[in-house]
Amino acid sequence: MIRVGTRASALARAQADSVAQALRARGEDVEIVTMQTEGDRLLSARLAEVGGKGLFVREIEEALLAGTIDVAVHSLKDLPAELPAGLELAAYPEREDPRDVLVSRAGGGLEALPDGARLGTSSPRRRALALAVRADLKIEPVRGNVDMRLRKLAAGEYDALMLAAAGLRRLGLTPEHAEPLPADVFVPAVGQGILGIEIRADDARVGKLVRELDHADTRAAALAERAYLRRLGASCNTAVAAHAMIEGGGTTIRMDAVVASEDGRRLLRDGATGVVEEAEDVGLWLAESILAQGAATLTALEPGRWR
């Protein structure tokens, strides 16, 4: 029996189900173990103020280290750049659509929103990129699962939301007035659309099974983006973005990266291309380039400064 640990949300469960089905197809008995993380319990708080993205994975990783689960399935964008000792990311299944999506009540996309429209997002990255295009927008934090956010939109609490295309697709949701945003302008979060399958580093049997689920192009993209994040030392309280794409029949990696002030007034952008075998080096080079432009001077807003 392989015990697969995940958060209890509908999206997390759908992601874990996809991994469980792949393991069952290989003849394994699989049990899904759901758990609530500290991030799930603090739905009213802004993550940057209560500990950052690690709040969504800490309890799951502790269970993995304790041996009460054998595999953890995460949205890669929820994972800090450094893993706890004794754990490893053994597989990255094929990436889902990495783009952001604007879901509005009236339709027409970002430019069609009225002056001073209320845009719901708790992501510093989405906030910064939206304000860089529309400085008049009123950005308001929104937490909760995807269904809850869409209900708040329908109730008129917001004029629009920014959501991940991957989450909508994995849940089978097709909201009315959903407009994908171009990834070269709204550069995705590091790891957006990628699942990270985490195991104990010394578990040879489970490691062998899980590595069969790995997708080579997705792994290269994940390694490049996470190397960039690790070098910057960034977390979810800074507006950081990176998107790696595999081209040339799997031989070339091209990557775009952004660091922004949270008010969207300063955006540092760069891009790089390299061979897939040097994916991490591409990410590191981009991080150094962005740092040389002054990325360290762009800090998150003080708590309470959402406008």
Cβ atoms of residues 43 and 143 within 8 Å: yes
Strands (E), 181-280: 195-200, 239-247, 252-260, 267-275
**How far apart are the C-alpha atoms of 195 and 104, rounded to whole Å?**
27
Q: Which residues pair with 89 in a beta bridge?
A: 198
Cβ(72)–Cβ(61) below 8 Å: yes
Q: Which of 40, 70, 78, 100 is catalytic?
A: 78
Q: Could you tell me whether strands 252-260 and 239-247 are parallel, antiparallel, or unpaired per DSSP bridges? A: antiparallel
Residue 219 sits at φ, ψ, to 5 deg, of -60, -45
78 is catalytic: yes
Nearest to 240 by CA among 219, 224, 220, 225: 225
By CB atoms closer than 10 A (0-12, 13-18, 19+), residue 102 is: buried
- The set of catalytic residues is 78
